[in-house]
Chain A
Amino acid sequence: MNFPILSTIIFIPLVGSLFILITKGSDKNVEKNSKYVAIFTSVTNFLLSLFLWYSFDRSTSNFQFVEEKVWMDGFINFKLGIDGISILFILLTTLITPLCIFSGINSLKFKIKEFLIAILVLETLMLGVFCSLDLVIFYLFFEGGLIPMFLIIGIWGGPKRVYSSFKFFLFTLLGSVLMLVAIISIYWITGTTDVVTLLDLRIGEKYQYLLWLAFFSSFAVKMPMWPVHTWLPDAHVEAPTAGSVVLAAILLKMAGYGFIRFSLGLFPLASYYFTPMVFTLSVIAIIYTSLVALMQDDMKKLIAYSSVAHMGFVTIGIFSITKQGLDGSIVQMISHGLISAGLFLSVGVIYDRYHSRMISSYSGLANIMPKYAFILMIFTLASLGLPGTSGFVGEFLILIGVFQTSVITAIMASLGIILAAAYMLWLYKRIIFGRLINEQMKVMKDINKAETYIFAPLIFLILYFGFYPDPFFSTIDISVNELIKNYQIDLNYHLGNQIK
């Protein structure tokens, strides 16, 4: 039995949050100590996950670091394990969480202790999602994330926080309960919820469609896909900066991960069958939400709609079921995690100084905040997919992938890139360039050291993967190949059955 490194990574934040919970003393001391504990645990966790990446074996498609313990006697085991796809998401989570903690410490004014507890618990649950190899465990972590996120939006959010947090909670819960029905049905159909076993089994044709739809309902809400995306702009606008960052960078990726792991892996026939529907919804999402994004007055809302559009690319890439498409989707998810985190943090910077998210409140910031203008430019260009940034790699690969499956979808999706350039550049132009109209803004300071440290790793990674994305591909290569191979074999088997 090896050292249970996955459980350690998952539960370290939880232990950290327990420590914060029991800190006692004067308010100031408690605040200081809980900050240290939170930073310490989240950074330790990041280092541990780097070690995990280092010791990860890139030459096999099997699940690694597998841990299995009896959990519900006789029918469900607590099973963890990762492959090339999940490890990237683990790294993303452990990287973004410390950044959120830094940003929260910088900008939040009250209840910092509770915030740190919530975000650490959330990290545990998100890591659990990417590590679990059992459907029930997956569901447990997937749904559990609602509680801390609900509280983060509701307690530290803006004026309409109650409405947004309720909408977020109920939308996602409603989508997910059907997945629970599907998971239980899978148990009674196949006798197991162990993902590794299920990937080798073939689920009968008559069940696949309904089960796929049930999983889809959950992931589509979480992703979010058009037309169930309406909770996302609300949640983003009201959430505090750190909450928006977690939401955009990690929580949305759980759905994409779910599509890859479960929809494609368990229901190849249904995935094949429903691909046109997914393409249609995604294309609508890309074009429609891009147009909506053009018309926003609120910066956070604009970025939220752009997230929906970018996630549309991800779903297209996943369901193109080609090597390039899947690689592209995974890269796109990671890079969107970095870019959207950067964008929301950038909005947070000026919001902390001027307390407005309206685009019209700002103009000519380049005159007083040159460093900030430079940083925002990198994120803006990365978001619209400029070559040399990680955003380009993802979208380019997705388009190559989908071009092989459906030319029309590829053409329509390409429109989205143009629109993305339009709304992002326009946003940039309106707030950074021009004259400094507002006299009050002259007192605004350029970004300070702490903020620079938060942005530096994001910018570095975006550019690094933009110029040299190989570390991505060498990690996911074998797992994606295996996924597509299994998918083709299973699909041919099912299609052969249907012809008979």
Chain B
Amino acid sequence: METIFYILPELFISGAIMFLLMLGVFIKKSFKLVNLLAILSLVFIFALVLNQDDGTVKIFNNGFIIDNFSIFMKATTLLFCFFVLISSNQYIKINNIDKIEYPIIILSSVLGMMLMISSYDLIIFYLGLELQSLSLYILASFKKNEEKSTEAGLKYFVLSALATGLLLYGCSLIYGFTGSTNFEVIRANLDTSNVGSIFGIVFIIVGLAFKISAVPFHMWTPDVYEGSPTSVTSFFAIVPKIAALSVFIRFMYDPFINAIYQWQSIVTFLAIASMLLGSIAAIGQNNIKRLMAYSTIGHMGFALAGLATGTNSGLQSTIVYLTIYLVMNLGAFCCIFMLRRENVYYEDINDLSGLSKNHPALSLAFIIILFSLAGIPPLAGFFAKFYIFMSVIESKMYLLAIIGLLTTVISAVYYLKVVKVIYFDKPKKPFETSDDWGLKISLIISTILILIYFMYPSLIFNIINSITVHQ
């Protein structure tokens, strides 16, 4: 019975999904109620997750782990899911995608993510992954009358299925060569001189790299980001990244830690390729959602750079990076949600032209976020990169550090381009000012966090100080 206590958050969220589904089916026009309950249940589960003990516990035949790392990651997932939902509320209503399925599918993908984060067994991991992926396919094509959205969903489904297939193949190889699906046993039995198990590792890395959209498995990202409704894009850019990256970390630092020399070069390559492509390819973009897609790719490259060190400080700086990235992206998407005129949302960068004239406050917030994304001190984005480079240079990976910093300069070009459009160009017709409190609060919180992070830059570090994966 004690085990039930440890999976209480997961149980509760499953219950909430089923209850809300029933509620939505039996009460007509109940989107508002279902959405509100879904948001409230996220808050409640957040409290449940934080309530768990600090120690490491493994349950279900060591297949499910609750440790500081998983608690932090789950809490972050729930927190940002909450903010994404409240900030995209208005968008959902205006674009007529306020169906009851929307919050429910988001909840079920969150359930999948929580399973992934806590999984300590290939099978549980795979179940969680599939649950969240299937929910994400539906979300991508949620605007079912629109060609682009459907295309995005289909594209995402086909490519993701391929990646999942590779991942599954890798899992079976690992199982075949180590004789177990349990992470602990895999770690003990993994023979790094065996080509078969190295192939398994590579396949799993490929599958995971697809999920966090690292180059060269990033092709889906710009199209899906552009095609999906913006509320879904903001969800895609923020929430699934947490689970995918934490699973990536778990795999590298726990079952595969003995093969560090094998995966280190792969992850370094992924990091360098993502940083380069993310910064160079974004320069030519005109759609702000596509721009955010490439920006995400670049940022994931930086997160992987921290991971590539294979050290504990690298792990921690990756987590810090991820957290700051989430705050910045939340802010950026809040700004995008603000670009509304007569019930139409604008996505082209040129539509932002001269925003500073008509909306000084919004423009100020926007450029703070953009400069932070570019990593210019003294904003939060700089500290994220600073920590990454601290650990990269500690591990004497100078090439990675220098390439990373050069891509910072390249990526500054396209962030500056947006700043230029906002501040230097001629103003166009003003946008409607949004009166949605959820959107405003999310934007204000994220901007202020970015702005004042320099006052106490070890904030996140102190929270995650106790996190280590490899025991």
Residues of A within 8 A of B (CB): 71-74, 114, 136, 139-141, 143-144, 146-147, 150-151, 154-155, 161-162, 165-166, 169-170, 173-174, 177-178, 180-181, 184-185, 187-188
Contact = CB atoms under 8 A, between A and B. Distances in A.
Contacts of A74: 458
Given A154-B424, A181-B398, A166 B377 contact: no
A177 B376 CA distance: 10
A181 B406 contact: no
Range, interface on chain B: 20 to 34
A162 B405 contact: no
A154 B356 CA distance: 13
Given A144-B376, A184-B389, A184-B401, 14 more contacts: A72-B457, A72-B458, A73-B458, A73-B461, A73-B462, A114-B360, A139-B377, A147-B376, A151-B419, A151-B423, A154-B424, A174-B409, A181-B389, A187-B390
A134 B401 CA distance: 21
12 contacts: A71-B457, A114-B356, A114-B360, A151-B419, A154-B420, A169-B412, A173-B376, A174-B406, A177-B405, A178-B402, A184-B389, A187-B390
A155 B423 contact: yes
B384 to A, nearest CB: 13
Nearest to B389: A184
A281 to B, nearest CB: 22
Contacts of B419: 150-151, 154
Interface string B373-398: 00011100010001001100110001
Given A140-B454, A173-B412, A188-B394, A180 B462 contact: no
Contacts of A139: 377
Interface string B436-471: 000000000000000000100110011000000000
A123 B371 CA distance: 19
B420 to A, nearest CB: 6
Nearest to B396: A188
Nearest to B456: A71
B324 to A, nearest CB: 14
Nearest to B425: A162
A162 to B, nearest CB: 6
Contacts of B409: 170, 173-174, 177
Interface string B48-81: 0000000000000000000000000000000000
B328 to A, nearest CB: 15
B408 interface: yes
A180 B454 contact: no
Interface in B203-234: none
Contacts of A114: 356, 360
Nearest to B423: A155
A147 B405 contact: no
Nearest to B368: A147
A146 B376 contact: yes
Contacts of A185: 393
B340 to A, nearest CB: 25
B413 interface: yes
A167 to B, nearest CB: 11
B279 to A, nearest CB: 12
A140 B402 CA distance: 18
Nearest to A185: B393
B416 interface: yes
Contacts of B360: 114
Contacts of B389: 180-181, 184
Contacts of A147: 371, 376
Interface in B396-434: 398, 401-402, 405-406, 408-409, 412-413, 416, 419-420, 423-424
A116 B377 CA distance: 21
Contacts of B416: 150, 166, 169-170
B461 to A, nearest CB: 7
Nearest to A210: B398
A169 B414 CA distance: 12
A108 B291 CA distance: 34
A269 B458 CA distance: 35
A180 B402 CA distance: 10
B401 A181 contact: yes
A180 B413 contact: no
Contacts of B462: 73
A166 B416 CA distance: 8
A234 to B, nearest CB: 15
Contacts of B402: 178, 181
Contacts of A177: 405-406, 408-409
A7 to B, nearest CB: 12
Contacts of B398: 181
Contacts of B406: 174, 177
Looking at B378, B398, B461, which has the most chain A CB atoms within 10 Å of its CB? B378
B28 to A, nearest CB: 46
B461 A144 contact: no
Interface string B348-371: 000000001000100000000001
Given A140-B378, A162-B420, A181 B412 contact: no
B377 A140 contact: yes
B458 A181 contact: no
Given A166-B416, A173-B409, A155 B424 contact: yes
A178 B403 CA distance: 10
A178 B409 CA distance: 11
Given A71-B457, A146-B376, A162-B424, A181 B413 contact: no
Contact of B393 (A173, A174, A181): A181
Contacts of B401: 181, 184
Contacts of A146: 376
A151 B371 CA distance: 12
A155 B377 CA distance: 21
A106 to B, nearest CB: 23
Nearest to A184: B393
B412 A184 contact: no
A179 to B, nearest CB: 10
A144 B378 contact: yes
Query: Shortest 3 CB-CB distances between A and B: which pairs?
Result: A177-B405, A73-B458, A140-B377
Interface string B102-124: 00000000000000000000000
B405 A178 contact: yes
B423 A154 contact: yes
B396 to A, nearest CB: 8
Nearest to B421: A162
A133 B408 CA distance: 26
Contacts of B377: 139-141, 143-144
A57 to B, nearest CB: 31
A136 B356 CA distance: 32
A153 B395 CA distance: 40
Contacts of B413: 166, 170
A174 B360 CA distance: 30
Contacts of B378: 140-141, 144
Nearest to B424: A154
A170 B409 CA distance: 7
Given A155-B424, A173-B409, A184-B390, A143 B376 contact: yes
A166 B377 CA distance: 17
Nearest to A128: B378
A174 B458 CA distance: 27
Contacts of A140: 377-378, 382, 454
A177 B275 CA distance: 15
Among A136, A147, A155, chain B packs the most CB atoms within 10 A around the CB of A147
Contacts of A154: 419-420, 423-424
A180 B405 contact: yes
Interface in B28-43: none
Nearest to B407: A177
A119 B389 CA distance: 31
Most buried by B among A74, A141, A177: A177
Contacts of A184: 386, 389-390, 393, 401
